[in-house]
Structure 1
Amino acid sequence: MSKNKNVTFAWAVKHIIWPRKKTLLVGFVLIIFSRLASLVLPGATKYLVDDVIKNSDLEMLKTLLIVVVIAITIQAITSFLLTRILSVEAQHLISQLRTKVQKKVLSLPISYFDNTKSGELVSRIMTDVEGVRNLVGTGLVQLVGGTITAIISLVLLINISASMTLFVLVPVSIFAFIAMKAFAKIRPIFRTRGQINAEVTGRLTETLNGVRVIKGFNAEEQENTIFEQGVLKLYNNIKSSLTATAFVTSSATFLLGLASVGIMGIGGYYIINGDMTIGDFLAFTLYLGFMIAPIVQMSNIGSQLTEAFAGLDRTEEIMKMDPENLPDKRPIILDSIYGDIEFKDVSFAYEENKDVLHDINFKAPPGSVTALVGSSGSGKSTTASLAATFLTPQSGLITIDGQDLSKVNLESYRKHLGVVLQDDFLFEGTIRENIIFPRPNATEDEIQAAVKGAYVNEFTDRFEDGLETVIGERGVKLSGGQRQRISIARALLANPKVIILDEATSNLDTESEMYIQKSLNMLMKDRTTFVIAHRLSTIRQADQILVIEEGKIVERGTHDELIAKEGRYFELYTYQSRI
């Protein structure tokens, strides 16, 4: 399915409705009983007027009352069961779809997340699937039930008076035509609403996450204006759909009102001439209500189903995207690795024809430390991201133990990978929960070894709750150095063969850096390590230092060799030494 192709009813039947055919069949049976029971009252009214009252037949009155009570009881029971069975199944489907979409989203490449707001993704996972409750819930069944009721009522109406029924069908047909045209226009509006809602949710999420920056720059009013504009855009979209829906409803009121006026005139004329009894007229009027009510209700249900399909359109866009770990494109499974990584003529571009890396060549032997240095934007982080398989080169080859990394199963490689990023992301929860994230089943001894190795205990011992201290969203209650040490403890516990350290000492004060440097030395031991650091003092012991400028390696060697060359590295190092 292409990105712009809408979900069809046939697709919905195959993927959403048919797998739940047994539940829906029960729903259809229940609604048929419910609608048949609802038709008892109009028929009973005819007998009440034409026979019971006219003949003063008390026995028949008792029988009528018993039949009507039974019919009402059946309606009540079937109504309860319909809601209980179908609404629960609908919510079950929504929970399954949310899980499925979230699983799909996490399988997508890093580049997708770089170009999509997290709040927008939250909206797609939580909101877009909501509409399917109308496909599996009472919406679709009511649509079918309403159609059945309308057809049965039509037959009964024709039986009472074919001419009056024919008169009614003219405005009903006009209304049906108007409704079909209106819903065709409403669907794109609902689809756009999903996009707008995702944008507004995305911005709101960013605002709440960046509240310290907003307050720090006194930018509350600016954020309020942006959010207000988004909400206004959403309001205008809703207004458009409400206008279309209101037009359908008002058309129904007008056209069906005209039909009722005509029925009053024709029915009155027939009664006066003796061609129709009062009971027949009352029954016709009530049956007419049972035929028209589902049609009017269908306009509301049609709107709900249109919203459901619009949500499915957006959901299917995500579900049809290729995950980053396609088995046919990445067939190589690594059971274990040595950590021998090599870049061969590697080039990479985030945008077409705008390379940020040009013909990168180097080897990182097992257990070696490769430091990447250079000015901001030179391509250091891109190089590390390629080694981490977060990105895939446009040209050239990256190998792990001689295997083409672009063909290696990502899960089998990443289980040997550890990362400590510049944005030392921590999850809301306790310090312990963040450390054991890569290995939830780690033993207490293993956890304590990681804690001590990263010197996390140096500050947790001062906390009342120790490792059980709740750190707040993104670790907001901790200092930068403390967050960084938890990130390193997490990497230590993972016990990987390949380590990516992206600005791992960027948030540290001098004391913390001293602690971390010791733990990093232990972390890097016997592991292939890539280190990105602005503080060149942290990489003096690296086996090789690659100086990257404008996407090219301009110098390479050990610290002493590069200092002796008095080139770009010498400039960077001596400049920092003076600061």
Structure 2
Amino acid sequence: MMHGGMMRQIAEKEEEKAKNTTLVAWRLIRLLKPYWKVVTVSFVMILIGAATQGVGPYLIGLAIDQFIAGKDLPNLLWTSAALAGTFVVGMVATRYQIYTMSLATQKLLADLRRSVFEKVQALDLKYVESKQAGDLMSRLVNDIEAINSFISQSLTQMLGALFALVGIMIAMFLLDWRMALASLSVVPVMFLMTKFFSTLARTAFRKTRTTIGDVSAEMEEQISGVKVAQAFNRTEVNVRQFSERNAANRNANVSANAVTSAFGPAMELLSTIDTALVAALGGYLAIMGLMTVGTVVAFIQYVQNFFRPIATVSQMWTLAQSAFAAAERVFELLDTPQTIKDAPDAQALPRIDGRVQFEGVSFGYEANRLILKDISLDAAPGQTIALVGPTGAGKTTAIGLLTRFYEVSSGAIRVDGHDLRDVTQLSLRSQMGMVTQDPFLFSGTIMDNIRYGRLAATDEEVIAAAQAANAHSFIERLPNGYQTEVGERGGMLSQGQRQLIAIARAVLADPRILILDEATASIDTRTEKLIQSALNTLLKGRTSFVIAHRLSTVRNADQVLVIDDGQIVERGVHADLLAQNGLYAELYNRQFYTPPETQSSAA
């Protein structure tokens, strides 16, 4: 149950927002404001369609009372033609209202998807790391699709039905107020029933949205980790865990469908009762000579037409609960505050030499739990700074602060004397490059992935960067060379090949500050030599921060900082730290110490 806690948090968050249905609805409507012209046309078509709902039964009653009873065939034919024309106009208006609203909706959804994607790109790394990728994808795809279904289809039907109700009620009261009141006598019961089903549907559809997020998160994680799952014989366990989440989503959808499917028969029962009431009262009044037969027939038509839009409104409203629950999740994401953002007076960082200073820096994800404590360092331009220490000591967190993925809790970080909080993030990161242990390659060609470091680079510059990174030779051996598709996350290439491409990408970017985060870990010795040679080229003339568990990669560093429990416990160069016989020497000896018996056998 790896994601159960997270899914519960999402459900609880939506439970808090359950009272904001009106605000969510208004916010969705406001999103249509840029397309008000198209929406206005759709609204006019809705009014025309609603008017035809009130005119039809009136023409039928007129035909019965005056032209059939009076045997007036010419006027009967004209009335029949008018009735047919009314239905055609209503059909065309309904067709065009759906088309125009769909047009506006698709434009709105394109804007909404872009806004969500831009938000995800700009979110603090702390927030992104706390969420499952599948859940974010669910908001971007499933939730927006639910909004699409509601606005493009359900909303127009609801508005059309509402205006049709108004038109029908006006026509009924103009025709006979007594019959109108009798026809509307079941409305209070109908509203109570609608409220009851809406409440049930709201809860049911909110659960479907959270469970599909759970399914998406589980699916994304397990597909990404299928190699590990197979290696550890976890496939059956994973299938069982996925089946549990899938079953939860299935049950949630079954419950939601049970609510919506029960509503239709309930409305049909009310409609039948109301029709019988109108027929009985109308028949009595007609027998007593107080009402014409045509008026009775018209009212029966009105009652049937009256319940049709009521059923539509109510059914669409229950379906709208799915859209509101989805919209809550999307708006929650869009409203997520950015804790790391440029100051109002932030300046662009000029071309830097590369001096980096940490001045008493402390940091914690939570205020009362510090990960880094009083870190101070001074890296001169062009120096290589190695950060070593046990796993979880805070090395990668320190680098995250330098790139301003996180904000320092206290102290300051300066680049060429500029406090990072006083410069724009774009100008800072544009002068930094990073090569990680598991480099991320995007779907596309090798050429595209190297050019990601500098999009304006020419093909010749890309090839030159690959040559500097020792990647050119293996690329040339591939069937399509630089146009070889790397697959999702670079899956068509080996770990070492992906690493070399990442280094080529960094070479092309030509950063002033370079970060190597475990860049030679998980690599075989032969490939490591190639990568190390490429890194030596990359390190020249740049201020570099190297994180490595393989201490052989940090022997030539200008400064070695040993971090333990969030503090710098040793600093110096490789030889001096070995002589101190402290933590660095202990870590080094663990890797390179050879027991005497092994040495003897080797001899």
TM-score, with length taken from structure 2:
0.90
Matched, 1:376 2:391: yes
Question: In the aligned structure 2, how far is the partner of 1:92 from the partner of 1:159?
Answer: 41
Alpha-carbon deviation of 1:461? 1.8
Which residue does the alignment assign to 1:316? 331
The question of 1:252 aligning with 2:267 is answered: yes
- Equivalence for 2:145: 130
Rounded to whole Å, the distance in 2 between the matches of 1:286 and 1:572 is 88
Looking at structure 1, the residues matched to 589 and 343 of structure 2 have their Cα atoms a distance apart, in angstroms, of 50
TM-score calculated relative to the size of structure 1: 0.94
Partner of 1:489: 504
Q: What residue number does 1:478 align with? A: 493
Show the counterpart of 1:366. Answer: 381
Residues 225 and 493 of structure 1: CA distance in aligned 2, closer, same or farther (over 3 Å): same
Determine if the alignment matches structure 1 residue 171 to structure 2 residue 168.
no
Partner of residue 208 from structure 2, selected from 184, 193, 197: 193
Q: Match for residue 519 of structure 2?
A: 504
Amino acid corresponding to residue 91 of structure 1 in structure 2: Q
Q: Give, in whole Å, the separation in 2 of the partners of 1:43 and 1:15.
A: 37
1:454 and 2:466 equivalent?
A: no
SS in 1 for 2:556: coil
Q: 1:428: which partner in 2?
A: 443
Question: In the alignment, which of 252, 276, 279 is matched to residue 264 of structure 1?
Answer: 279
Mapping of residues 198-237 of structure 1, within 5 Å = 198-237=213-252
What is the aligned partner in structure 2 of residue 146 from structure 1? 161
User: 1:324 Cα deviation (Å)?
Assistant: 4.8
The C-alpha deviation readout for 1:41-97, integer Å capped at 9, x for no partner, is 322322332333333322113212321232233123222211221112112211110
Note the C-alpha offset of 1:247.
4.5
Distance in 1 of aligned mates of 2:87 and 2:184: 29
Match of 1:536 in 2: 551
Tell me which amino acid in the other structure corresponds to 1:212: K
Q: Is the 8 A contact 2:32 2:108 kept in 1?
A: no
Question: Given residue 137 of structure 1, which amino acid in structure 2 is its aligned partner?
Answer: S
Which amino acid is 1:169 matched to? L
SS in 1 for 2:364: strand
Which residue in 2 is equivalent to 1:562? 577
Q: 2:456 aligns with which of 441, 444, 447?
A: 441
Q: Distance in 2 between matches of 1:553 and 1:159?
A: 87
- Among 282, 285, 303, the alignment partner of 2:297 is 282
Once the two structures are superposed, what CA deviation does each residue of 1:491-545 show, in whole Å capped at 9, x if it has no partner? 1111111111001111322222222212111111111100011111112111111
Q: Which moved more, 1:197-206 or 1:326-335?
A: 326-335
- 8 A Cα contact 2:446 2:482, kept in partner: yes
CA distance in structure 2 between the partners assigned to 1:575 and 1:12 by the alignment: 60
Q: Distance in 2 between matches of 1:537 and 1:459?
A: 25
Question: Which amino acid in 2 is paired with 1:483?
Answer: R
Letter in structure 1 aligned against 2:180: T
Q: What is the aligned-residue identity percentage? A: 35
Matched with 1:306 is 321
CA positional deviation for 1:462: 1.4
**Distance in 2 separating the partners of 1:7 and 1:19:** 22
SS in 2 for 1:439: coil
| Mapped partners of 1:410, 1:327: distance in 2 | 7
Whether the 8 Å contact between 2:384 and 2:543 is mirrored in structure 1 is yes
For residues 305-353 of structure 1, the C-alpha deviation after alignment (integer angstroms, 9 at most, x for no partner) is: 3333222211121111222542336723213222111112222223443
Between the aligned partners of 2:149 and 2:215, the Cα distance in structure 1 is 25
Corresponding residue of 1:100: 115
Would you say 1:518 and 2:560 are equivalent positions? no
State which drifts further: 512-521 or 306-315: 306-315
| 1:8 partner amino acid | T
Q: Contact (CA 8 Å) 1:172, 1:256: kept in 2 or not?
A: no
Amino acid in the other structure paired with 1:431: I
Distance (whole Å) between structure 2 residues aligned to residue 217 and residue 330 of structure 1: 53
**CA displacement 1:439-490 (0-9 Å, x = unmatched):** 2220122111110011111211211111111122222222111111111111
Structure 2 residue matching 1:370: 3-state secondary structure: strand
Matched residue, 2:353: 338
Range moving further from structure 2, 252-261 or 34-43: 34-43
Give the Å deviation of 1:392.
Answer: 2.0
2:106 is the alignment partner of 1:112: no
1:325–1:410 contact (8 Å) kept in structure 2: no
Are the equivalent residues in 1 in contact too, given 2:64–2:294 (CA < 8 A)? yes
The unaligned stretches of length 5 or more in structure 1 are: none
Q: Partner of 1:391: helix, strand, or coil?
A: coil
**Equivalent position SS for 2:477:** coil
SS at match of 1:461: helix
Tell me if 1:74 matches 2:80: no
CA distance, structure 2, for counterparts of residue 14 and residue 510 of structure 1:
61
1:423 alignment partner, SS class: coil
Report the alpha carbon displacement of residue 196 of structure 1 after superposing the two structures with TM. 2.2
Equivalent in the alignment of 1:57: 72
Stretch moving more, 43-52 or 410-419: 43-52
**Amino acid across the alignment from 2:472:** N
Partner of 2:601: none
- Greater alpha carbon shift after TM alignment, 364-373 vs 234-243: 234-243
Shift of 1:574: 3.1
SS in structure 1 of the partner of residue 538 of structure 2: helix
In the other structure, the counterpart of 2:598 is none
Query: Partners of 1:305 and 1:14 in 2: how far apart?
Result: 13
Is the 2:486–2:492 contact (alpha carbons within 8 Å) kept by the matching residues of 1? yes
- CA deviations over 1:332-389 (Å, ceiling 9, x no partner): 3213222111112222223443322222111111111000112222222122222222
- Is residue 242 from structure 1 mapped to residue 232 from structure 2 by the alignment? no
SS in 1 for 2:143: coil
Q: Distance in 2 between matches of 1:480 and 1:502?
A: 15
Whole-angstrom distance in 1 between the partners of 2:85 and 2:69? 24
Question: Hey, what's the Cα distance between the residues in 1 that align with 2:148 and 2:529?
Answer: 57
Please give the secondary structure, in 2, of the residue aligned with 1:355.
coil
The secondary structure found in structure 2 opposite 1:8 is helix
Deviations 1:131-152 (A, max 9, x none): 4336643433433332222122
CA distance 1:167–1:39, shift in 2 (3 Å): closer
How has the CA–CA distance of structure 1 residues 13 and 88 changed in structure 2, closer, same or farther, with 3 Å as cutoff? closer
Q: Distance in 1 between matches of 2:481 and 2:149?
A: 49
> How far apart in 1 are the matches of 2:77 and 2:270?
39
- Paired residue total: 578
1:419 correspondence with 2:417: no
SS of equivalent to 2:370: strand
Name the CA shift for 1:491/1:378 in 2 (closer, same or farther; >3 Å): same
- Consecutive unaligned residues of structure 2, counting only runs of 5 or more, are 1-12, 595-603
Give the letter aligned to residue 441 of structure 1. Answer: A
Comparing 70-79 with 545-554, greater Cα deviation is found at 70-79
**In structure 2, do the counterparts of structure 1 residues 256 and 14 end up closer, same or farther at CA, with 3 Å as the change threshold?**
closer
Deviation at 1:408, TM superposition (A): 2.8
- Aligned partners of 2:176 and 2:466: how far apart in 1? 87
